[in-house]
Amino acid sequence: MNNAELTDSFLEFKESKNIDKQTMQHVLEDVFRSMFKKKFNTDKHIDIIVNIDKGDVQIFLNKEIVDDGEVEDPNTEMAYSDAIKIEPDFEIGEEVTEEFKFADFGRRSILSLRQNLISRIMELEKDSLYKAYKERVGEIITGEVYQVWKKEILVLDDEGNELILPKSEQIPSDYFKKGEGVRAVVAKVDMRNSTPVIILSRTAPEFLERLFELEVPEVFDGLITIKRIVREPGERAKVAVESYDDRVDPVGACVGMKGSRIHGIVRELRNENIDVINFTTNVQLLIQRALSPAKITSIELNESDKRAKVFLKPDQVSLAIGKGGNNIKLAGRLSGYELDVYRDGEVDIEDVDLEEFADEIDSWILDELKAIGCDTAKSVIEMGVEDLVQRTDLEHETVEEVIRILRSEFE
């Protein structure tokens, strides 16, 4: 194998997408030096010139000129009679430089050299990719769906790097086909078996935050700050915003004229309902805003337990709870308080408080019912089996048994 053939075999590495030219040059030089050190037990007499642009590598051996018959190491010394054939003016003690012929290395050494280079390049590419994406955690990435599997999707970025979008990080109504574009946020970057694994997410709160930055210039410029985001992906989200400029209405700016700004975000999130509210450090006011569109009569806070009793008119309870209990669940997460809903107003004297059934119904079941605003026997019965199953974590048979016990009270 001559110099030209060896150079051609390394040309494929010079376009390595994740490694800069200077680093590549150092790697090539280091690999060659290691090989010479192994062959000659030293590399001090060697000059290596790497031209990445041309894919060219030249190696020169510097040898000391000694008297004829005194050459002990032909790799580092040259006889005087041989030196003057190259240049008649050479004298003993001077250095002569000659280009190394790769044919002297042998085919096995060349193959070993190539294998070492491939290994080093792959390690550097992996390390470079890991560092690059580690710095991009929380950023939005636009990629192309390359492969769709049952539990995850393989996405390629602009440079052809492989990214993973797991099923658990997809919005429930997401459906992607090969070749389709997809936007997601970089959730985390792991190293598995020395290979970087880049995980994307469309369900993370950061994804919604980045979308607001893209759609709302005031958020991107920092005039409006997103204080908190809570989501039930694909169903509902609540975003608390604040402006440090009294002239800027944070909610109005985020929603846009006739919803123009938020519509693009809603479409991207598969019609996820987004409630934008003004942030406040007043917990009662924050809970009141978070439970919108329901109108609250009063709130009792228990700061030690981080619980709040929310009293509403009977016709407002279902609004506060929302479909599948999402509204009250998200309001609780946004405020940091566990919310218990109670009906306010005239009390049905024939109704019975759920606590009266504590000897017949387990306390954890009663707590599940209270959490969705059912604090009396009639409120549970009126809601019905199907609605109760959907809004709580109770089994169908459990709900039927509870309603049977409650109905027997009025029979």
Q: How many CB atoms lie within 10 A of CB 218?
A: 20
Q: Give me the pLDDT at residue 69, please.
A: 80
Q: Give me the pLDDT at residue 104, please.
A: 63
- In b/e form, how buried is each residue of 71-91, taking b as 16+ CB within 10 angstroms? beeebbebbbebbeeeeeebe
pLDDT at 139 over 90: yes
Nearest to 232 by CA among 196, 191, 290, 274: 274
Contact between residue 250 and residue 242 where contact means Cβ atoms under 8 Å apart? yes
Q: How many CB atoms lie within 10 A of CB 285?
A: 15
* Alpha helix stretches (DSSP H) within 247-325: 250-255, 260-268, 283-290, 314-321
- Kindly report whether the peptide bond that precedes residue 293 is cis, defined as omega within 30 degrees of 0: yes
| DSSP category for residue 244 | S
The token pair that represents 56 in the structure block: 């060219």
Nearest to 145 by CA among 156, 137, 136: 156
Express each pLDDT in 246-276 by its tens digit. Answer: 889 999 999 999 889 999 999 999 999 999 9
Q: Of 84-93, 161-170, 316-325, where does the model show the most confidence?
A: 161-170
- Domains recognised in the chain with CATH numbers: 3-132 (3.30.1480), 143-203 (2.40.50.140), 206-279 (3.30.300.20), 354-408 (1.10.150)
Can you tell me the mean pLDDT for 67-72?
A: 82
The token pair that represents 340 in the structure block: 């218990």
pLDDT at 240 over 90: yes
The model's confidence at residue 360, banded by pLDDT at 50, 70 and 90, is confident
Q: Give me the pLDDT at residue 181, please.
A: 94
Can you tell me the mean pLDDT for 89-94?
A: 84
Can you tell me the mean pLDDT for 335-346?
A: 82
Q: Give me the pLDDT at residue 2, please.
A: 47
Task: Give the SS3 label for residue 194.
Answer: coil
Q: How far apart are CA 234 and CA 160, in angstroms?
A: 29
Q: Is the pTM of this model over 0.75?
A: no
| DSSP category for residue 11 | G
Q: How far apart are CA 316 and CA 275, in angstroms?
A: 18
Q: How far apart are CA 183 and CA 151, in angstroms?
A: 18
Can you tell me the mean pLDDT for 307-320?
A: 86
